[in-house]
Chains A and B, each alone.
Chain A
Amino acid sequence: MREMGREREATKVAYTVEQLVAFNRYNPDILPDLENYVNDQVSSQTYSLDANLCLLRLYQFEPEKMSSQIVARILVKALMAMPAPDFSLCLFLIPERVQMEEQFKTLIVLSHYLETGRFRQFWDEAAKSRHIVEAVPGFEQAIQGYAVHVLSLTYQNIPRTVLAEAINIEGLSLDKFLEHQVANSGWVIEKSQGRGQLIVLPRNEFNDPALKKNAADSVPLEHITRIFPILS
Chain B
Amino acid sequence: MANQDYEDRQQPQELGYDPNFVPDSVKSFVVHLYRHIREKNVYEIHQMYESSFQTLSERLFKDTPWPSVDAVAHYVDNDHVFCLLYREMWFRHLYARLTPTLRQRIDSWDNYCSLFQVVLHGVVNMQLPNQWLWDMVDEFVYQFQSFCQYRAKMKNKTEQEIALLRQFDQAWNVYGVLNFLQALVEKSAIIQILEQEKEGLVQFTATDGYDYNGGSNVLKVLGYFSMVGLLRVHCLLGDYHTGIKCLLPIDISQQGVYTSVIGSHITTIYHYGFANLMLRRYVEAIREFNKILLYIFKTKQYHQKSPQYEQILKKNEQMYALLAICLSLCPQSRLVDETVNSQLREKYGEKMARMQRYDDEAFAIYDELFSYACPKFITPSAPSFEEPLVNYNQDAYRLQLKLFLYEAKQQQLLSGVRTFLKVYSTISLAKLASYMEVDEPTLRTILMTYKHKTHAVDSDLKITSNADVDFYIDDDTIYVVESKPAKRYGDYFLRQIVKLEGVINEMDGIKLE
Decide if B457 is an interface residue (CB 8 Å cutoff).
Answer: yes
Decide if B155 is an interface residue (CB 8 Å cutoff).
Answer: no
CB distance from A67 to the nearest CB of B (A): 16
Contact A150 B452 (CB under 8 A): yes
CB distance from B16 to the nearest CB of A (A): 42
Chain B's interface: helix, strand, loop or mixed, by majority? helix
Q: How many residues of A contact B (CB 8 A)?
A: 65
CB distance from B338 to the nearest CB of A (A): 19
Chain A residues within 8 Å of B489, by CB: 216
In the bound complex, CA of A85 to CA of B407 (Å): 11
Decide if B253 is an interface residue (CB 8 Å cutoff).
Answer: yes
Chain B residues within 8 Å of A183, by CB: none
Interface centre among B253, B395, B447, B472 (most CB of A within 10 A): B472
Chain B residues within 8 Å of A91, by CB: 403
Contact A61 B174 (CB under 8 A): yes
Interface residues of B in 204-257 (CB under 8 A from A): 237-242, 245, 248, 251, 253-254
Decide if A224 is an interface residue (CB 8 Å cutoff).
Answer: yes
Contact B455 A3 (CB under 8 A): no
Bitwise interface map of A from 118 to 135 toward B, beta carbon under 8 Å scored 1, else 0: 111000000000000000
Contact B459 A49 (CB under 8 A): yes
Contact A116 B449 (CB under 8 A): yes
In the bound complex, CA of A58 to CA of B483 (Å): 44
Interface residues of B in 468-491 (CB under 8 A from A): 470, 472-476, 481, 486-491
Given A117-B444, A153-B455, does the pair A226, B472 have CB atoms closer than 8 Å?
Answer: no
CB distance from A45 to the nearest CB of B (A): 17
In the bound complex, CA of A84 to CA of B455 (Å): 10
Looking at A11-19, A68-76, A156-164, A174-182, the stretch in contact with chain B turns out to be: A156-164
Chain B residues within 8 Å of A227, by CB: 494, 497-498, 501
In the bound complex, CA of A158 to CA of B445 (Å): 13
CB distance from B464 to the nearest CB of A (A): 10
Looking at A35-43, A136-144, A205-213, the stretch in contact with chain B turns out to be: A205-213
Contact B175 A27 (CB under 8 A): yes
Contact B278 A154 (CB under 8 A): no
Q: How many residues of B contact A (CB 8 A)?
A: 64
Decide if B179 is an interface residue (CB 8 Å cutoff).
Answer: yes
In the bound complex, CA of A41 to CA of B490 (Å): 46
Chain A residues within 8 Å of B178, by CB: 26
Decide if B381 is an interface residue (CB 8 Å cutoff).
Answer: yes
In the bound complex, CA of A224 to CA of B457 (Å): 27
**Closest B residue to A89 using CB positions:** B241
CB distance from B466 to the nearest CB of A (A): 12
Contact B240 A92 (CB under 8 A): yes
Decide if B202 is an interface residue (CB 8 Å cutoff).
Answer: no
Choose among B251, B380, B457, B501 the residue that contacts A83 (Cβ–Cβ < 8 A).
B457
Contact A153 B242 (CB under 8 A): no
Choose among A53, A116, A224 the residue that contacts B242 (Cβ–Cβ < 8 A).
A53
Contact B451 A150 (CB under 8 A): yes
Chain A residues within 8 Å of B476, by CB: 159
Decide if A155 is an interface residue (CB 8 Å cutoff).
Answer: yes
Interface centre among B448, B461, B473 (most CB of A within 10 A): B448
**Closest B residue to A214 using CB positions:** B486
Contact B491 A223 (CB under 8 A): yes
Decide if A62 is an interface residue (CB 8 Å cutoff).
Answer: yes
Bitwise interface map of B from 385 to 410 toward A, beta carbon under 8 Å scored 1, else 0: 00000000001001110110001001
**Closest A residue to B500 using CB positions:** A230
Bitwise interface map of B from 367 to 388 toward A, beta carbon under 8 Å scored 1, else 0: 0000000000000110000000
Decide if A2 is an interface residue (CB 8 Å cutoff).
Answer: yes
Bitwise interface map of B from 175 to 189 toward A, beta carbon under 8 Å scored 1, else 0: 100110010000000
Contact A26 B179 (CB under 8 A): yes
In the bound complex, CA of A118 to CA of B459 (Å): 24
Chain A residues within 8 Å of B175, by CB: 26-28, 61
Chain B residues within 8 Å of A192, by CB: 475
**Closest A residue to B456 using CB positions:** A85
CB distance from B469 to the nearest CB of A (A): 12
Bitwise interface map of B from 430 to 468 toward A, beta carbon under 8 Å scored 1, else 0: 000000000001001111110111010111110101000
A-B contact pairs, 14 of them (CB 8 A): A26-B179, A26-B182, A53-B241, A92-B239, A92-B240, A93-B238, A115-B410, A116-B410, A153-B455, A158-B473, A206-B465, A209-B481, A219-B490, A226-B494
User: 5 shortest A-B CB distances, which residue pairs?
Assistant: A117-B448, A216-B486, A219-B490, A92-B238, A117-B445
Q: A residues engaging B (CB < 8 A)?
A: 1-3, 6, 25-28, 49-50, 53-54, 57, 60-63, 83-85, 88-89, 91-93, 95-96, 112, 115-120, 150-151, 153-159, 162, 165, 192, 198, 205-209, 212, 214-219, 222-224, 226-227, 230
